[in-house]
Structure 1
Amino acid sequence: MAVDNWNGLRDYSRTTMVALSTTALLTACGAIYLLSRLKKRIRQMALWKVPGPPAVSFITGELWVRLRRCVLISVSSNDTQMHHVGAGQFHEHIIQTYGRVIRVSGFLWDTQLIISDPKACTSILLKDQDIFEETAWSIECNLHAFGPGLLGTLGAHHRKQRKQINPVFSAKHLRSMVPLFHKITNQLRDVLKAKVARSPQEVDILDWLGRLALELVAQGGLGYTFNSLDPEAKENEYGKAIKEFIPTTSTLVAFRTLFPLISHWPSWLLRFGAKFVPLPMVHNAIRITDIMTRYTKEVFDEKKALLEKGDVEFKQQLSEGKDIISVLMKTNGDALKEDRLPDDEIMGQMSSLILAATDTTSTALSRILDILARHPDVQEKLRQELKDAHARAGENELGYDELVELPYLEAVCRETLRVFPPVHFISRVARADASVPLSQPIETDGGPVSSLFVPRGTAVMINIIGANRDPSIWGADAADWKPERWLAPLPDSVADARIPGIYSNTLTFLGGGRACIGFKFSQLEMKVALSQLVTEFRFSPSKEEIVWRFGGITTPSVKGSTALAP
């Protein structure tokens, strides 16, 4: 009995020692983490004087709101919707109250900046773009989801990929895609005609425009079809996963502060650990990425096999440039060995391009049709311009040159993308200490300041909507939707502001090395769709109240709806 007692005591001692060691390790890690946050807090003292809203909590900042959002998504979508709507109003409030440079509080004393000052944006997006890079959360999330594509690479690696992909979005290639865009849009036109054949009726246009955008980028981007516009077809698993990706990953944003601690773990280890996380959205994110990865590999392997086999039809397709990935495979194969992209990087572009082009385009088109429905005079003026263009073209559909030369169509698109950009904010993080100049001094507790010292590790949000609606740039009516402003010379203040965007003096498609590479592709999609739909149909407002929910991408939904929009 004495021996048994000794063995039991020894086992108990071992268990106790393991528990104590684990507790000590976790305590030490927690202490180190808190000390690092405190050190960062001290380094950010210079930013405390920047004006901004009071913190919700000294400890959590806005994290509590984000965590609450994650819980509500699985419990009550109505509250989630209210959170989105409220967030949009909150951001508009702080822009109007605090101006071009705003300080907000993050997790554990973290200070973050929201910036729309043109000179500061030029520094962040252009001059110091190697310092202000995508956040670790964004890069690692996209890397694990899609592979090493444009959305998951940085610096020289990212620039090398853009160099290979840029020719795909040339005007010459886009010209060749217009007939394909018309063919796909005609499918949607026929579906909608069948729905309203007997009498006008309400149609969920966001759903159908989402299907259209998905099919346009699938066929134009991958040479693949989801059959999205076939009302009788079962929804494609890959297409469904693409639509679910952003709503799902946005529910995980509350944990982005913790993500740097595990961001460098290999994918297999992250997936293994995620199985033990008791949150449905985590398991759903893994399921979605698995589906996208599987389909992407199938499409790529099929194209590669045909190419290596010497398939005549496929080689002809490559030479004619029918879809983005086929052209990329051709240019990549013809490139110098040191410039070629490996297979995993080409596959990484596939889902990245589809994801980036689908929800943004469908949301922008939905916004345009919503506005046209509420402004019938504008809708009629646009319809007349399109009918006149069709009359000049005879029986032919409008080609690339006809579409880009229609002034009112261009004005409607520009004004909508200026006032209502699908994405309101883009995050960057300072990877080194930096000094950011300002166009206009800001008033702080210590007096006017003409530049900001931004410590390493500080998160900066480029305030797209703030720059696009800045009254000192666009005039007192900056927040008003007026397409006619593009039919006359813009105020000198617009050119003088030198906004560093690649599109129409706005930040809608950003600027610099990480600007939207497919913005001309998106514009062309929108113009082809509008040329067909506005000519064929008259759009009226819904009987239901439509609200636009703030999120990664601003999306419309029926007020009180329990469904999360893609």
Structure 2
Amino acid sequence: MVACTSSVLFFLVSHRIRQIVLWKIPGPPAASFITGNYSQMFHAGANAFHEQIIRTYGRVIRTSGFLGDSQLIISDTKALMTILMKEHDIFEEADWFIECNRHAFGIGLFGTEGERHRKQRKQLNPVFSYTQMRSLTPLFEGIAHQFCDVIHTQVVDSPQEVEIYSWLSRTALELIAQGGLGYTFNSLDPNSRDNEFGKAIKEYMPTLTGLLVWRTLFPLISHWPPCFLRSGAKLIPLPKLHKLIYLSDTMRRYSKEVFDEKKALLEHGDDVFSQQLSEGKDIISVLMKCNGNASEEERLTDEEILSQMTTLLFAATDTTSSALSRILLLLSQHPDVQEKLRQELNEAFARSSSSGIDYDELLELPYLEAVCRETLRLFPPASFVSRICRADACVQLSQPVETADSPISSLFVPRGTTVLINILGVNRDPSIWGADASEWKPGRWLAPLPESVVEARIPGVYSNLLTFVGGGRACIGFKFSQLEMKVVLSQLIREFRFAPSSKEIVWRFGSVTSPSVKGSTDVGPKMPLIVERV
């Protein structure tokens, strides 16, 4: 009976989404230029499809999306300024995003909206400050040294093929665990096995991606009692759903253990609290201390702080490993860039009187910054983020859109419209970045930016890019991410030389893009490179 019901539901849903038609705003369906199915937009190989529609249809595209709802794909920077900044209260996260994250992680940044979300960001902003990031640098350097030690054991006397992504993933996990929670998974110990906590974090995103279609249905039942939802979920024949619930429960259980331990230490005073693995400098430890000194109306509840812990772990692991793996692959394909970066790093370390370099100098290394910026421009870990229009709105366009009747310079967005913010489209727009916008050229950041980039007024929090988005829901941890990448690269590039392996690497589209070996039957992320000691 359950299997039969599920089959009927799947048929009804798939029938509604079988065809999507893309057309220029505000042309009718009869004016369609391309027809595809839903899987073309969101399956693992969808990157090429999205690049095609950006080139063909430009900055504003209307689609008939999931269950026939109206959707807009927008990369027009003036429109995005309204959506992300001026009227961000109208263009909020989609209901399915809020509800799914609330049930998975609790009432943290991903599971709240409105005033509660603003209150949480206000309390979290200081823990991602310049001073806080500076204090984390030695901790990150120690983790990067551990990573290098592991690679040294695999590359002894001659170049060897190393599956580097798995170690990047372990490093990213350890960076957020120690820097975010003051906890260690011992991820970089070759003899240690993944503990249940670490395994749950690494498996959560791939499992979630496999349920992308079904997540959009969740708001229809999210108001039901949690116990009823769980009982019902067990009856649905979706193994990935069952696994997702288990992974979510595991992350929360272990996060609560860490939280309870920190709370007990905090009650014994600062001296005892600072004796943790991170010496009390991790994000959550600092948040708990700041929160204790906040006024009653500004203070976060224990439940809110606990929810931030699982949110941080989820948000920071795959994005960092994706960005680092992309940088290493590009450096392996461009040995001249890799050598120039190595020279800059060697000179910087030679000027230092210690084993590392000062936080400020690390941030100011021009070529390292250029390599990071250019990679994050051309290959953002997340290609899209979505918003839902909560009230009828009108957005101005920076460039008129041609229609069958006449050009339009403003766009009416009806209530209930899903807006897909096209990060990839903005970062690769030739009218902004020039004719070479699709080329990876770190040198573009060593000269003054074209006037077109300045005039575009891209509404992002980082370096004229939309990679970390902007506005009230911008990535709050982008400075943390930048520090992670630069510390790891500053160690790796000085000690190892990277070259492509004979296996072709392809990138899988998803909530976060990930590398895989073309033709491999292994569905997990993989990126083998040839590595040798410098």
Q: TM-score, normalised by structure 2?
A: 0.91
Q: Among 249, 252, 269, which residue is 2:208 paired with?
A: 249
Q: CA deviation at 1:45?
A: 13
1:503 corresponds to 2:441: no
Q: Determine the C-alpha separation between the residues in 2 that align with 1:322 and 1:52.
A: 55
1:366 corresponds to 2:325: yes
The structure where strand makes up a greater share of residues is 2
Query: Are the counterparts in 2 of residues 49 and 446 from structure 1 also a CA contact under 8 Å?
Result: no
Q: Among 426, 442, 449, which residue is 2:401 paired with?
A: 442
Matched AA of 2:44: H
Matched AA of 2:410: S
Q: Determine the C-alpha separation between the residues in 1 that align with 2:184 and 2:68.
A: 48
Equivalence for 2:474: 515
Q: Among 227, 242, 252, which residue is 2:186 paired with?
A: 227
Aligned length: 510
* Alignment CA distance shift 1:238-1:318 (3 Å): closer
Q: CA deviation at 1:253?
A: 1.4
1:84 corresponds to 2:44: yes
Matched AA of 1:140: E
Q: CA deviation at 1:533?
A: 0.2
Within 5 Å, give how 1:103-502 maps onto structure 2: 103-310=62-269, 312-314=271-273, 321-502=280-461
Q: CA deviation at 1:266?
A: 3.2
Cα deviations by residue, 1:471-499 (Å, 9 ceiling, x for unpaired): 00010001111000000001100000001
Q: Determine the C-alpha separation between the residues in 2 that align with 1:319 and 1:465.
A: 36
Cα deviations by residue, 1:290-323 (Å, 9 ceiling, x for unpaired): 1111101111011112222447321566997510
* Alignment CA distance shift 1:520-1:120 (3 Å): same
Query: Structure 1: 5+ residue runs without aligned partners?
Result: 1-22, 24-32, 38-43, 70-82
Query: Are the counterparts in 1 of residues 139 and 278 from structure 2 also a CA contact under 8 Å?
Result: no
- Percent identity, please: 66
Q: CA deviation at 1:254?
A: 1.2
Q: Determine the C-alpha separation between the residues in 2 that align with 1:318 and 1:52.
A: 59
**Secondary structure of the structure 1 residue equivalent to 2:438:** coil
The structure where helix makes up a greater share of residues is 1
Cα deviations by residue, 1:303-355 (Å, 9 ceiling, x for unpaired): 11222244732156699751000000000000001111001100100011111
Cα deviations by residue, 1:531-552 (Å, 9 ceiling, x for unpaired): 0000000001011110011111
Cα deviations by residue, 1:427-466 (Å, 9 ceiling, x for unpaired): 0010111111100010122321111111111100000010
* Alignment CA distance shift 1:336-1:311 (3 Å): closer
Matched AA of 1:461: L
Q: CA deviation at 1:256?
A: 3.3
Cα deviations by residue, 1:124-177 (Å, 9 ceiling, x for unpaired): 000110000111111111111110001111011111000000000000111111
Matched AA of 1:366: S
**Secondary structure of the structure 2 residue equivalent to 1:233:** coil
Cα deviations by residue, 1:72-116 (Å, 9 ceiling, x for unpaired): xxxxxxxxxxx412x111100000000000112213432211000
**Secondary structure of the structure 2 residue equivalent to 1:238:** helix
Q: Determine the C-alpha separation between the residues in 2 that align with 1:162 and 1:252.
A: 28
Q: Determine the C-alpha separation between the residues in 1 that align with 2:189 and 2:26.
A: 54
Matched AA of 1:335: A
Query: Are the counterparts in 2 of residues 439 and 450 from structure 1 also a CA contact under 8 Å?
Result: yes
Query: Are the counterparts in 2 of residues 319 and 327 from structure 1 also a CA contact under 8 Å?
Result: no
Q: CA deviation at 1:263?
A: 2.1
- Larger CA deviation: 257-266 vs 212-221: 257-266
Query: Structure 2: 5+ residue runs without aligned partners?
Result: 6-11, 17-22, 526-534
Q: CA RMSD in A?
A: 2.5
* Alignment CA distance shift 1:320-1:283 (3 Å): closer
Bigger Rg over Cα: 1
* Alignment CA distance shift 1:201-1:45 (3 Å): closer
* Alignment CA distance shift 1:319-1:413 (3 Å): closer
Matched AA of 2:215: R
Q: Determine the C-alpha separation between the residues in 1 that align with 2:124 and 2:156.
A: 43
Matched AA of 2:248: T
Q: Determine the C-alpha separation between the residues in 1 that align with 2:414 and 2:398.
A: 20
**Secondary structure of the structure 2 residue equivalent to 1:339:** coil
Q: Determine the C-alpha separation between the residues in 2 that align with 1:429 and 1:348.
A: 23
Query: Are the counterparts in 2 of residues 53 and 103 from structure 1 also a CA contact under 8 Å?
Result: no
* Alignment CA distance shift 1:143-1:563 (3 Å): farther
Q: TM-score, normalised by structure 1?
A: 0.86
Q: Determine the C-alpha separation between the residues in 2 that align with 1:94 and 1:48.
A: 16
Equivalence for 1:7: none
Q: Determine the C-alpha separation between the residues in 1 that align with 2:278 and 2:189.
A: 30
Q: Determine the C-alpha separation between the residues in 1 that align with 2:280 and 2:455.
A: 40
Matched AA of 1:442: V
